[in-house]
Amino acid sequence: MLIRPNRWLAGVVAAAAMMVVLAACGADEPTATPRPAATPTPADTMMEPTAEPGDTMMEPTAEPGDTMMEPTAEPGDTMMEEPTPTPRPAPTATPVPPPGFDAAEHFRGKTVRIVANSSPGGGTDTQGRVMAAFMSQYIPGNPRVVFTNQPNKPLEYIYAATEAAKDGTYVSWNSTPQLAFGFSDETLNIKRSTFQALGATIDPTRAWMTYDPVGNLGPSAADSCLWDYSGQSSTGGGAHGEFLLADELSDIAEGNPTLLASVFAAEQLNIPFRYFGFDTVDTNAVRLMWARGDINSTVRASLWYRFPVENPDWIPSGLMRAMAGMGPGQLKPNAQTEPHCADVREQFNEEQTFVFNSMMGPTNYASKTLWLPPGTPDHIADALSSAFEEALTTDQELIAKYGAVAGESPGWTGRAEIQAATLENEDLLQGSQAVIEAQKARLLPKYFSQYISG
């Protein structure tokens, strides 16, 4: 489900207040919790290896043992004014395919690769594999469809933008739109809006979730929310006595806006928390780190909806608790319960809300999105988008199986709406860059010095 910008910007300060110095937010910043020594990537063999940023770009390859799909041999800060979208011209009519274009003839005999920029076993991966298993019968010409993984997000982005085939045979499948990549030297400043959007399937709203809250944080965590620990140096008990989270080293290094928004929220609430850096922090890795006791919390989107399906006893037993809604929309009930706690922004003043929304909103306007490389002809993108839409809105077996792994039925957002929202949110993100850069310069040295020094 698409989250429109006017929802996540609700409550932003008026333009006159935008010139207030952000020092008001950080003047009474809590004393930083002492940082541990740099935590190495867990060595457990259950975690999938991730390509390092310096690795040569390789075409993603299918994981051995995949049974659903055939394997492939293919390789203190000044307040900004509220960001205002640049006016865009009215959309033009859908281009007419070239004379004689036959979508079935174009795809017949080809192999279409759907490439997830995540490790095998996580939510993006499993949802994508279910979807891909049905797509051959819906894509005109019934081409062979193969699902593969390239977990290094920047490398997959660059490959898709610069090297992948532009004939509809390479489809990127991403958990979020990675809009910030268009503003990074590392990803060649290639804007996401230059890609061809096909559509999106899932609500991107996030939740702060804590595993074994009583065991890790103490008895009060059974019915508390994040802000109930404001001003405390400890949660009052448990194995950890504080909120422990992890994020990917690549996100820390680049100052990913979503990561910054979560850190900013914890800091402004003045709760006891620490963040650790790992090579891979997808859903599989989070579950493994919970089981080992490395961390106890995460800020994620679709996992909230998946628990009733994958771990039906966790929420009723109290083993999992949503401690706050984290935007950009309002967290909805899952199949078992209403959210345990309200939205974190209800605890913020106007300045804090503006900064949080500037980081969380534009980069999380859609979830589980499908893209074709820049330069792919419109008529090919239209044909594929129609195929995915038909499959995900009419095939009851696919809808049921997708819902079983996602925890919520797919809610298709179409090609035109995603393309327009991408342009709009790029404008919003560009208008928020000064806020994001200021928070990046402040928060990374404060909480991640061991990962960015040298």
- The three state secondary structure string of 221-277 is HHCCCHHHHCCCCCCCCCCCCCEEEEEEHHHHHHCCHHHHHHHHHHHHHCCCEEEEE
Question: What mean pLDDT is predicted for residues 370-395?
Answer: 98
> In this structure, are residues 314 and 219 in contact, taking their beta carbons and an 8 Å threshold?
no
Q: What is the pLDDT of residue 123?
A: 84
Round to whole Å and give the CA distance between 165 and 385. Answer: 17
Q: Enter the pTM of the model.
A: 0.70
Confidence of residue 202 (pLDDT cuts 50, 70, 90): confident
User: Does the pLDDT of residue 49 top 60, yes or no?
Assistant: no
Q: Which two tokens stand for residue 125?
A: 């991966």
Given a cut of 80, whether residue 16 has pLDDT beyond it is no
2 vs 277: which has the higher pLDDT: 277
CA 389 to centroid of chain Cα atoms: 21
Say how far apart CA 412 and CA 454 lie, in whole Å: 45
Query: What is the structure's pLDDT at 309?
Result: 87
Helix axes 433-447, 350-360, angle to 10 degrees: 90
Instruction: Determine which helix (DSSP H) or strand (DSSP E) holds 148, and give its type and residue range.
Output: strand 144-149
**Which amino acid, one-letter code, is at 74?**
E
Strand partners, 277: 247
Q: How many residues does the structure list for the chain?
A: 454
Nearest to 198 by CA among 429, 432, 328, 387: 387
User: Tell me, what's the pLDDT at 41?
Assistant: 37
- 257's tokens: 């806006």
Sequence-distant (≥ 6) Cβ neighbours of residue 166 within 8 angstroms: 372, 373, 374, 375, 376, 377
**Residue that is written with structure tokens 């804090």 in the block:** 352
Instruction: Tell me how crowded residue 165 is: count the other CB atoms within 10 A of its CB.
Output: 14
Q: Please give the structure tokens belonging to residue 247.
A: 């994020």
Residues β-bridged to residue 115:
148, 172
| Residue 375 pLDDT level (bands cut at 50, 70, 90) | very high
Contacts of 127 (CB under 8 A, 6+ apart): 201, 202, 302, 368, 402, 405, 406
pLDDT category at 218 given cuts 50, 70, 90 is: very high
- Are 78 and 21 in contact by the 8 Å Cβ rule? The answer is yes
How many helical (H) and strand (E) elements, i.e. helices and strands, does the chain have? Answer: 17, 10
The pLDDT tens digits for 288-317 are 999 999 999 999 988 899 899 889 999 999
| Domains recognised in the chain with CATH numbers | 105-203+365-413 (3.40.190.150), 205-362+434-452 (3.40.190.10)
Q: What's the average model confidence in pLDDT over 115-135?
A: 93
* pLDDT (mean) for 336-346: 96
Answer for the pair 354, 18: CB distance below 8 angstroms, yes or no: yes
Q: For position 448, what pLDDT does the model report?
A: 95
pLDDT (tens digit per residue) in 260-285: 999 999 999 999 999 999 998 988 89
Say how many CA atoms lie within 13 Å of 234 toward its Cβ.
9
Q: Write the single-letter amino acid at 109.
A: G
Is residue 355 within 8 Å of 260, Cβ to Cβ?
no
Report pLDDT for 163.
98
pLDDT at 69 over 60: no
Please check the confidence at residue 48 and state whether its pLDDT lies above 80: no
- pLDDT band at 86, cuts 50/70/90? very low
Question: What is the pLDDT of the chain when averaged over all its residues?
Answer: 83
Residue type, 133: A
Q: Calculate the CA 437 to chain-centre distance.
A: 20
Say yes or no to pLDDT of 382 above 80.
yes
Answer whether 157's CB lies under 8 Å from 117's CB: yes
Name the residue with tokens 């033009």: 92
Q: Could you give the CA distance from residue 287 to residue 219 in angstroms, rounded to a whole number?
A: 22
b/e per residue, 195-211, with b = 16+ CB within 10 A? bbbbbbbbbbbbbbbbb
Are 415 and 197 contacting, i.e. CB atoms less than 8 angstroms apart? yes
The single-letter DSSP state of residue 21 is: B
Question: How high is the pLDDT of residue 62?
Answer: 42
Give yes or no for residue 52 having a pLDDT over 60. Answer: no
pLDDT value, residue 20: 35
Please state the rounded mean pLDDT for residues 5-15. 39
**What integer is the mean pLDDT of 341-354?**
97
Q: Determine the pLDDT at residue 8.
A: 46
The closest alpha carbon to 8, from 204, 254, 270, 255, belongs to: 204
- For residue 96, name the pLDDT band (cuts at 50, 70, 90): low
Residue 122 pLDDT class (50, 70, 90 cuts): confident
Cβ contact 444:252 at 8 Å: yes
Stretch 199-210: mean pLDDT: 93
75 burial via Cβ count (<10 Å: 0-12, 13-18, 19+) = exposed
Q: Is-contact 250 153, C-beta < 8 A?
A: yes
Instruction: Return phi, psi of residue 407, to 5°.
Output: 85, -5
Contact by Cβ (8 Å): 404, 224: no
Instruction: Please report the pLDDT score of residue 282 as a whole number.
Output: 86
Residue 225 DSSP SS3:
coil
Ordered DSSP codes for 267-294: HHHT--EEEEEES--SHHHHHHHHHHTS
